[in-house]
Structure 1
Amino acid sequence: MKKIIGVIFILFASIVQPVDFQKGLDATNESAYKEWFPLAEQGNAGAQYNLGVMYENGRGVLQDYKQAIDWYRKAAEQGYADAQLNLGVMYANAQGGLQDYKQSYQWSRKAADQGHADAQFNLGVMYANGRGVLQDDKQSVDWYRKAADQGHAAAQYNLGVMYANGQGGLQDDKKSYQWYRKAAEQGNAGAQYNLGVIYANGQGVLQDDKQSYQWSRKAAEQGHVRAQYNLGFMYANGQGVLKDYKQAVDWYRKAAGNGYAAAQLNLGVMYAMGQGVLQDYKRGYMWFNLARYNGLDTQKLFDILTPQMTQKSINESQEMSKICLDSDYDNCG
């Protein structure tokens, strides 16, 4: 049985962005600033935090990262977990000064020790990548699990990746599946894509093409490029779904328009063979050309196609390739 051409997507999610206002606070104007400033001056940690959010995002005040850091620090030093988290993120992202992963770690750790799931996730990222601390997969797994147990989807996804690759302990396909499933059910596109691959290949679960299609579809509809490619492959081959060349072309085109070389190559094949579209050697050549530009060896396909084309058609196809690329795939016909 043919398998989907795809591998587990291994990429640690980046540090999460700061949390927003808490419990319905909607401070977007100067009046809110005037209300909170006196409270913040009196040492109210919640008001200090909210001023930090306002200055960071330019809500009701001119954006000023240094002011944001100052107010976050005042709240953070009083043990306000959200402020500690945001201060850690600002140091990681060099907002308001030099990038400082050690400071980022210290403030993130304070929030994480209070049970803040986003901060626990960020510590997992730091330990996984050696940012501000020595790289340590076991510590990374521990912090991801703390956040994952609180329902943090990105932590669940990253934990699935680590179990899939045996980072921080024994490789375990079943645990990897379990964590991907939790994240996928929360709408995490990377986890949905990985479940599609897992079901296609029977890794830690019984092989199931229909389940593979369903999870791949969820990820593809969120714009996951590899899932879009895999969905095209499934429609082209009737894997987990009825064969449908038009659907295959549509999904290949979505992935191809995002620069995915394998989808560009397969889309070229569909045009060259007239599957799901009218046969069009020029457009087939164009997509082969773009796939080659993006790193695939398409010479054998050119050797088959070019003898059936005139030099004028080849020149036009090359010009079409240039127009498509220059438009960032917006004008590919």
Structure 2
Amino acid sequence: MSHLKLINQSIRSVLLCGALLTGSFVWFSPETVQGQQVITENLDQLRAEAAKGNPEADFQLGFLASMGRLPGESPAKAYEYLRRSADTGHQEASFLLGTLYLSGAHGQQASPEAAKRYLERVAAQGHSRAQDKLGQYYLSHASNPGEAAQWFQKAANQGLASAENNLGLLYAEGKGVSQDPVRAAELISRAADKGEVGAKHNLATLYQTGRGVAKNPERAAQLFEEAAARGYQRSQYSLGVLHLQGEFGQPNPVEGLKWLMLASAGPDNPVREQARTNLLQVAQTSPNTLVHDAAEAARQWAIRYEMNAPYQVGQN
């Protein structure tokens, strides 16, 4: 069997585990069924209230539609419900609608300016998640890291972990703020302690490189694995490369290939393609038995960790 075919079979095996464990094949527990019945029973009441102009009902319907949980209606319908609610001043509707516009979800084209309009409304009122999203808008769509830093700081002052992580990255890179690796490490560490998965990965990178903190490969490995256990592809990819390079001791090709296989099965396209490229390069010079062992280790890991949300292996 060729290495390419063996690798593709290994990735399909991991993807199948992900499908079985994350809902591509749905197994309803009594609680899930009961919860769905409650939602369904309330829909008529929600729609009746929405018809009367109730902004909370519109928000609830928009939220359900955005999650694909509004029977008979497209997720794109979320925009209509949320606009009606947001235009009355409903904070959560404005935040969710701004978030959808920023990413262009559910087949709708992204509209950064519309996102900015709705997010600014509630960010100015102190809504921390809207402040964080507005910071992302200024960083990614307006090329204004200074303004982004100000909004991240406002949200970080309220203890929002994602904003602390985002602000920490700006300090690490010197974008919009004076470069300060120590301050960056403090902010990212604070976010990681709150469970922010991206912050765990970023803090692991700081420990791996010794930027803003004393270099500590063991701590880096622990943090990468904590993030990887949540299905975070970048950490899976990093673990693969670092194990192959022997950064945690002797080179460990089985562990390295295992992590590259897992990173190759995730939803982040750039990471997935880079992982697959590295995976094929290494596997071409490795014995088939070693690749088989790595594939089995990846499969067992997928079963053990159940592709934990929000970054789930195999959710494409």
Aligning the two structures, in what range does the TM-score lie when normalised by the shorter sequence?
0.5 to 0.7
- What letter matches 2:191 in structure 1? A
**Equivalent residues of 1:288, 1:301 under 8 A apart:** no
Give the one of 177, 188, 193 matched to 1:216: 188
Matched with 1:122 is: 96
Matched, 1:75 2:31: no
Matched, 1:262 2:247: no
Alignment of 1:175-190 (within 5 A): 175-190=147-162
**Equivalent residues of 1:324, 1:330 under 8 A apart:** no
Q: Specify whether residues 287 and 119 from structure 1 end up closer, same or farther in structure 2 by C-alpha distance, changes over 3 A only.
A: same
TM-score, length-scaled by structure 2: 0.68
**Equivalent residues of 1:220, 1:228 under 8 A apart:** yes
Q: Specify whether residues 57 and 216 from structure 1 end up closer, same or farther in structure 2 by C-alpha distance, changes over 3 A only.
A: farther
Q: Specify whether residues 115 and 176 from structure 1 end up closer, same or farther in structure 2 by C-alpha distance, changes over 3 A only.
A: same
Where 2:301 maps in the other structure, the secondary structure is coil
Q: How far apart, CA to CA, are the structure 1 residues paired with 2:250 and 2:109?
A: 55
Bigger share in helix: 2
Matched, 1:141 2:141: no
Task: Decide which moves more: 199-208 or 127-136.
Answer: 127-136
Alignment of 1:36-185 (within 5 A): 63-100=37-74, 103-128=77-102, 129=104, 135-166=110-141, 170-185=142-157
Give the Å deviation of 1:292. Answer: 3.8
Q: How far apart, CA to CA, are the structure 1 residues paired with 2:64 and 2:198?
A: 31
Q: How far apart, CA to CA, are the structure 2 residues paired with 1:131 and 1:301?
A: 36
Q: Specify whether residues 126 and 247 from structure 1 end up closer, same or farther in structure 2 by C-alpha distance, changes over 3 A only.
A: closer
Give the Å deviation of 1:198. Answer: 0.9
Matched with 1:9 is: none
Give the Å deviation of 1:217. Answer: 1.6
Give the one of 218, 223, 227 matched to 1:246: 218
**Equivalent residues of 2:257, 2:279 under 8 A apart:** no
Give the Å deviation of 1:96. Answer: 4.2
Matched with 1:205 is: 177
Where 2:187 maps in the other structure, the secondary structure is helix
**Equivalent residues of 1:159, 1:179 under 8 A apart:** yes
Task: Decide which moves more: 194-203 or 97-106.
Answer: 97-106
Where 2:37 maps in the other structure, the secondary structure is coil
Matched with 1:290 is: 258
Give the Å deviation of 1:299. Answer: 7.4
Size of the alignment, in residue pairs? 257
Give the Å deviation of 1:132. Answer: 9.2
Give the Å deviation of 1:64. Answer: 4.3
Give the Å deviation of 1:326. Answer: 0.9
Higher normalized contact order (CA 8 Å, seq sep 6+, divided by chain length): 2
Q: How far apart, CA to CA, are the structure 1 residues paired with 2:297 and 2:195?
A: 20
Q: How far apart, CA to CA, are the structure 1 residues paired with 2:215 and 2:254?
A: 25
Where 1:328 maps in the other structure, the secondary structure is helix
Percent of pairs with identical residues: 25
Q: How far apart, CA to CA, are the structure 2 residues paired with 1:160 and 1:213?
A: 19
- What letter matches 2:300 in structure 1? S
- What letter matches 2:298 in structure 1? L
Where 1:171 maps in the other structure, the secondary structure is coil
Q: Specify whether residues 182 and 123 from structure 1 end up closer, same or farther in structure 2 by C-alpha distance, changes over 3 A only.
A: same
Q: How far apart, CA to CA, are the structure 2 residues paired with 1:318 and 1:124?
A: 45
**Equivalent residues of 2:221, 2:239 under 8 A apart:** no
Give the Å deviation of 1:136. Answer: 3.1
Give the Å deviation of 1:114. Answer: 2.4
**Equivalent residues of 1:288, 1:302 under 8 A apart:** no
RMSD of equivalent CA atoms: 3.5
Matched, 1:321 2:294: yes
**Equivalent residues of 1:124, 1:142 under 8 A apart:** yes
Larger radius of gyration: 1
Q: How far apart, CA to CA, are the structure 2 residues paired with 1:186 and 1:115?
A: 22
- What letter matches 1:138 in structure 2? E
Where 1:327 maps in the other structure, the secondary structure is helix
TM-score, length-scaled by structure 1: 0.64
Unmatched tracts of structure 2, length 5 or more: 1-31, 265-273, 306-316
- What letter matches 2:258 in structure 1? L
Q: How far apart, CA to CA, are the structure 2 residues paired with 1:80 and 1:331?
A: 45
Give the Å deviation of 1:140. Answer: 1.5
Unmatched tracts of structure 1, length 5 or more: 1-55
**Equivalent residues of 1:235, 1:241 under 8 A apart:** yes
Matched with 1:194 is: 166
